[in-house]
Amino acid sequence: GQGPPQTTVAGSPALVSDDQIFSDIDDAELKIFSSAFETFDPVEGLVGFDHMLLRAYICEHTCITEDSLDIILFQQEEGEGAQPALSLPAFSGIMRSFAIHDREMAQGWATISDGSDSVASPDARTGLVMMASDESVEVSEQQMDRMLNGVMAAAGPVVGREEWCTYAVHVARCLRAMRLR
């Protein structure tokens, strides 16, 4: 069931529903990031690197620090001439690529793996729940189950480190989408 329409904290209609986030995170994020990008007043589809709202949004909603932001922006540069700029696809790519810090994933894996190369699938799921509980978004038990059932749908009885990190990134992206919608 779809359930009632989702709303934001302020009570306005949400850009995307739980179902959209859990079934197609790429599309859900694109809706959220497109809406945010428009607030940066793009000119011919581009926003300059010096735009303070763009910079603040990226630093607030990714694991990128202000110190490393310029390096990452210049790797994605699409502007021509004197003004380095970012397009919506480049902005979305940055947002997707930096949803969670490698250090967080390494700590999460270390917590559940006890030095092993793989863990039982239920332990992998528990690690994702623990990681999600550290995020700044409230998630009901039902939402968590639905999210993890989707994220781990292809998981076998044992999950390796790389596979778990892929799941961790997906969970981080879902949680952020739930927070930003």
Structure tokens at 168: 């961790």
Identify the band that residue 137 occupies on the pLDDT scale cut at 50, 70 and 90: confident
* The amino acid at 1: G
pTM of this prediction? 0.87
Mean pLDDT value of segment 128-148: 89
The predicted structure's pLDDT at residue 9: 43
pLDDT in tens, 106-121: 999 999 999 999 999 9
How many Cα neighbours within 13 Å face the side chain of 82? 0
